[in-house]
Amino acid sequence: MQTIRHLDPLKKMVNMLHGAGRRIALVPTMGALHAGHMALVTQAKAIADDVIVSIFVNPIQFGPNEDLSRYPRQEAQDAALLADAGITGLWLPGVDVMYPQGFATTISVAKLGDGLCGAARPGHFDGVATVVAKLLTQVQPDIAVFGEKDWQQLAVIRRMVCDLDLGVEIMGAPIVRDNDGLALSSRNAYLSRDERSAALSLPRTLQTALAQIEGGAAIAPALAHAKTTLLQAGFASVDYVALVDATSLETLEMLDREARILGAARMGSTRLIDNFPVRFKK
């Protein structure tokens, strides 16, 4: 595995791989790697000749009161995991490489990035879209793999790639869960033991609402009851529980297309998200 921190050696490696006719997959991450990230790497290795993983804690997707300064960073441990996984390259740029002095361009994906998590985190998805566009331009992969846990992020990236004709296939990878059902996340490390136990209410409550809706229950009451259940379970606040179109993220009042049930809530100071696909009868 080659670890690269600057653009010139990255371009040299990418040009060499493309010149040899190699198919490149990119797995973008913010580090603090866990089994969910490594599942993305495994999926990428199955569909490409070479895998490049990026680690960059992107400052422009964090709000002023969010956890940029304490976001977990474990570069040596992450590098060892990736070396053992047999990837070709680790792209590890600094902030000065990604956003050099005078940097002034951002990307906004209207509508898709405004609601849901975007409503609670203004500007977040502009930061996500900007850094992903830069990573795709730098690495020039044939395919990029993203986890489905942040379904809104995946939808935003797919729209951006389509709108800007970037020519990269975007592949979603299923959510990886702990044995008890909690979706793996780097931010789970913030949870105390009691908070970790109470956080299980998020996937369980979403699954209950999912079963009700698939069974024909009225959507609005099912979602409202889910919010109440989360608050009673110990969540400090609930940003949303929503049923949305799986592609456009449009809020649905009836189950008549491919859909997703999404939830975001705060356990203590830690914001957790989760989602599940919703079946509908054609």
Straight-line distance from the first to the last Cα atom of the chain, in angstroms, rounded to the nearest whole number: 48
Angle ∠(79,81,83) on CA atoms, nearest 5: 65
Burial class (CB in 10 A: 0-12, 13-18, 19+), 194: exposed
Region at 32 (left for phi over 0; alpha for psi -120 to 50; beta for the rest): left
Q: Give the chain's radius of gyration (CA, Å).
A: 19
Q: Which of 34, 37, 124, 225 is catalytic?
A: 37
CB neighbour list of residue 64: distance below 8 Å, 6 or more residues apart: none
Rounded to whole angstroms, how far apart are CA atoms 93 and 97? 6
DSSP of 75-118: HHHHHHHHHHHT-SEEE---HHHHS-TT-------TTTTTSTHH
Residue 160 to residue 158: CA distance in whole angstroms: 5
Q: How far is CA 155 from the centre of its chain?
A: 10
Q: How far is it, in rounded angstroms, from Cα 54 to Cα 196?
A: 28
**Residue 124 appears among annotated catalytic residues:** no
- Residues labelled catalytic: 37
